[in-house]
Amino acid sequence: MKNVMSNKFVITLYTLPALLLILVLIYIPITLSGYYGLMDWDGIGEMKFIGLENYVTLVQDKVFWTSTWHSFQLAIFSAVSLLLYLGISLVLASKIKGSDLLRKIYLIPMLLSSVAIAQLWMKIFDPNNGMANRLLEIFGVENTPLWLADPEIALYSIFIPVIWQYAGFYILIYYAALKNVPDEVIEAAKIDGANALQIAFRIKLPLISGIFKVTIMLAVVGSLKYFDLIYVMTGGGPNGASEVMASYMYKEAFKLNNFGYGSALGFGLLVICLVMTWLTSKLTKSNDDVQF
């Protein structure tokens, strides 16, 4: 039996195609990204080796740090909004009628492309004919905001569709986790006289803390590399007000043809994402085994 199932030729045949793909299209490019970062290069002409100059520029680049700060704001915001989703999931999972339908309705925005979401919300935020400002007027707000056109609030305006997009996804995860809490445990608590709030906070939440930690990591790392929606809605504008790490990298490379510096930025993005993945998993790691 060992012979057939340890046939080297078959193993190679089965794994090599996929392995080659990820090596050539994922691992080699990230290595090259660090290497291109050492070059002065417009993407077409000759590369010129300039050592660490791009990385020195990067460290001193105010726009990079502003963009990074914007990405981190999104990460913090996403992580905090998880509490809202958790609250909703707790209610949903408490044997409520129609929870299945509601859960699916919540998920619908997650299925749409970022382009569709971005274009739709650009219309919602339209200062004159959009839904957002008319809604504010109904509630008596007089100086309605310009949303995406206002540098002060453009970034935060984009956070709204981000929440809208991902809410259903996290609710889905929490709901599934809460449904896995054994009924016997809850019944036992009820018999001991625990009320609904005590059951939620003392029993259900501790039991799904492992999943909660995983979602924190998903939300943080996902936010740090967030790109599509911002690229379509504002392109990082107005005047860099909503620029994030990935959009800044993209602009440097494909708009300004600074492939060398763009690669350095891409490498910086990679390092920050990996460090944050490691850090969040360290910070949230406890005795439960968080699988990821």
Q: Which of residues 75-114 bind another protein (CB under 8 A)?
A: 88, 91-92, 96, 102-114
Nearer to another protein, 27 or 49 (CB): 27
Nearer to another protein by C-beta: 132 or 154? 132
If phi > 0 it is left, if psi is from -120 to 50 it is alpha, else beta; for residue 90 that is alpha
Instruction: Report the candidate in 193, 209, 211, 204 with the shortest Cα–Cα distance to residue 94.
Output: 204
Q: For 129-152, b where at least 16 C-beta lie within 10 A, e where not — what string?
A: ebebbeeeeeeeeeeebbbbbeee
Residues 213/290, Cβ–Cβ less than 8 Å: yes
Size of the site for another protein (CB under 8 A): 95
For the bound state, the minimum distance from the C-beta of residue 86 to another protein, rounded and expressed in Å, comes to 13
Stretch that binds another protein, among 21-29, 60-68, 72-80, 142-150 (CB under 8 A): 21-29
Nearer Cβ to another protein, position 120 or 181? Answer: 120
Residue 131 near another protein by CB under 8 A: yes
How far, in Å, CA of 91 to CA of 260, rounded?
Answer: 51
Residues numbered 46-65 forming contacts with another protein, rule: CB under 8 A: none
Q: Mark the segment that binds another protein (CB under 8 A) among 15-23, 49-57, 145-153, 199-207.
A: 15-23
* Residue 211 or 241 with smaller CB distance to another protein: 211
Query: Taking a C-beta distance cutoff of 8 angstroms, is the pair 44, 126 a contact?
Result: no
Least distance between another protein and beta carbon 177 (Å) = 8
End-to-end Cα, the chain, rounded Å: 33
- DSSP string of 141-171? -SS---GGG-TTTHHHHHHHHHHHHHHHHHH
Residue ranges in 161-180 that form contacts with another protein under rule CB under 8 A: 164, 167-169, 172-173, 176-177
Residues 231-290 that bind another protein (CB under 8 A): 232, 246, 249-250, 253-254, 259, 262-263, 266-267, 269-270, 273-274, 277
Query: Does position 197 bind another protein by CB under 8 A?
Result: no
Question: What does the DSSP assignment read for 211-226?
Answer: HHHHHHHHHHHHHHT-
